[in-house]
Structure 1
Amino acid sequence: MLKVNQLSKKFKRRIALDETNFILENGTIGLLGPNGAGKTTLLRILATYYEPTSGSIKLNGKDYLKNREIIRQMIGYMPQNIGLFPQLKVKEFLSYIGLMRGIERNDLSGQIDKILQEVNLDNKSNVKITSLSGGMKQRVGIAQAIMHDPQLLLVDEPTAGLDPEERMRFRNLIKKLAQNRIVVFSTHITEDIAMTCDKVLLIKKGIVSKCENIHDVTNLASGKVWSLAADIEAYNRIAADSRAFISQVSEQNEDQIVNCRIIAEEQPHPSAKQAFPNLEEGYMVWLQGN
């Protein structure tokens, strides 16, 4: 269990994280927010890279401030820009990380083989990191983070820049790793959250809100999403209306009709029909709120 109480972080006069409270159990928790919202700041505090300005954190009953080195042995961290050694082979790199983590030399080879199998890179152990695809490099990043079997795994924007197939593989890996630990998965991509996470932490301007279920976010847009097949004139009028937000547009057909989905408090056009919201639309409603 991860328990965060009244956690805050200030950089000089700027509040990066504002009196945050939440409790997390095993499973995948999405940390969702726009760029600059405070996601990385929160992860770095949880990873012990930053010290909080105030508040407390406990992992499985152990206080962060009183048990710093013990806590670090309980955490795995994959930052957004992980520093890999491109000229090392995968197994050489993980051997280096394992020794830095204090894993005994006699246990190291077997542990690396186990981890590589877990991240589906067992056939790449003797390949140089520079030769790997972007998705494989991300899996090496996860491998180094779980070398010591952490109870808390922190992953920062891991799917950025991956192609759809690699992104799907990575999401499946995250779900598997969350079966026996807490995984906090930071991203601004709502699809990754929808396909991977059990719960959501929404963060905006340093303020965190916890949602116990993905549907809690989706339901924020209930009654506010409309579908419409609009001609160009109607589409342009809606696009210029500050009270409406076009969340999705499909291609125009040969009659110059645009199929779109619109977020609006009131019916944006006489022909618009209410539609069931998705996670992205619920997230957009939350972002636009106070």
Structure 2
Amino acid sequence: MGLSLTNIFQGYGSHFVINDLSIELGSGVIGLLGPNGAGKTTLLRTMATIMPPASGKILVNGIPVNDERSAREARSAIGYLPQNFGYDPGMRVIDFVQYAAWLRGIPGTAWQKETAWALNQVDLLSHGKTRMSKLSGGMRQRAGIAWAIVGKPALILLDEPTVGLDPRQRLQFRKIIRNMHESTLILSTHLIDDIEATCDRVIVLHGGSVKFDGSVADLSNTSRADLPGNTDLERGYMNFLPAEEQQL
């Protein structure tokens, strides 16, 4: 899987949230860090082909995404979990995940197997017949993760996926992520320890522009003792924020 964004401008009306952004993403787990308002969610929605860019080029596996037809074709290989995802409260968990399989064009003969795999990954296999409205917040979040990974899509985009998960469930989530390295998986989160535990690469976004793009170790190596943070990775991240945002 390859995802290429070149000179992307994206925003709402005349206000640009993403400014002339260019990145190349291959297989592996990529962490996306940045403060609120940095443009992370807008970037994920652009990558998911939900928001066509104001200008610039998007290539999915070398194929341009430049109209609704090509966007629909690209979506068959994309698993996207928004921060606040929608669902039919009366839908059973198994049907919710199977619907994602159908949307992705997975053959009907494989729905049962792929859905069972995804639900097993998030420890919800025994709750397949439970209505979505009856799930706790953490269980609903895990159902959303199953939605995103069913069928093992080539591109997986997760926006704050560990919100509502308890410590054990977060550890389980990290295990799932580490097993998805054949895909291009982008994890947007404020939890830097999740980045440290799972990611091969990390991108720091601020003001709609990439401020750092490299390995987790390289970001840790930018740490300075005078910066706030409990770990080298936290201090390295703070190093790429404006001086006024480095103060606590």
TM range (shorter): 0.7 to 0.9
Q: Is the 8 A contact 2:75 2:104 kept in 1?
A: no
In structure 2, what is the equivalent of residue 57 of structure 1? 58
1: CA distance, partners of 2:65 / 2:122 = 29
What is the deviation of 1:246? 4.7
Runs of 4+ off more than 6 Å: none
Among 217, 230, 237, the alignment partner of 1:283 is 237
Q: Indicate the structure whose relative CO is greater, using CA pairs within 8 Å and at least 6 residues apart.
A: 2
Q: How many residues align?
A: 241
2: distance between equivalents of 1:286 and 1:41?
20
Given candidates 91, 100, 110, the residue that maps to 1:88 is 91
Q: Does 1:193 align with 2:195?
A: yes
- Map of 1:118-133 to 2, 5 A cutoff? 118-133=121-136
TM-score by length of 1: 0.76
Distance 1:105 1:219 in 2: 48
Residue in 2 that maps onto 1:225: 225
1:123 Cα offset (Å): 2.1
**TM-score of the pair, normalised by structure 2:** 0.88
Say if 2:110 is the partner of 1:107: yes
Of all paired residues, the percent bearing the same amino acid is: 38
Partner of 1:36: 37
Kindly tell me: are residues 185 and 44 of structure 1, through their superposed partners in 2, closer, same or farther at Cα, counting changes over 3 Å?
same
Structure with bigger gyration radius: 1
Q: For residue 134 of structure 1, what is the aligned residue in structure 2?
A: 137
**Preserved contact between residue 47 and residue 77 of structure 1 (Cα < 8 Å):** yes
Aligned equivalents of 1:24 and 1:106: distance in 2? 32
* 1:285 partner letter: N
Which stretch of the first structure deviates more once superposed, 89-98 or 184-193?
Answer: 89-98
- Shift of residue 149, structure 1, vs aligned partner: 3.1
Alpha-carbon distance in 2 for matches of 1:149, 1:168: 20
Read off the aligned partner of 2:141 and give its amino acid letter.
Q
Unaligned runs of 5+ in 2: none
**How far apart, in 1, do the equivalents of 2:31 and 2:55 lie?**
24
**Which residue identity lines up with residue 201 of structure 2 in the other structure?**
K
Deviation, structure 1 residue 180: 1.4
Aligned to 1:274: none
Give the C-alpha shift of residue 80 in structure 1. 0.3
Aligned to 1:75: 78
TM-superposed CA distance for 1:104, in Å, is: 4.0
Partner of 2:149: 146
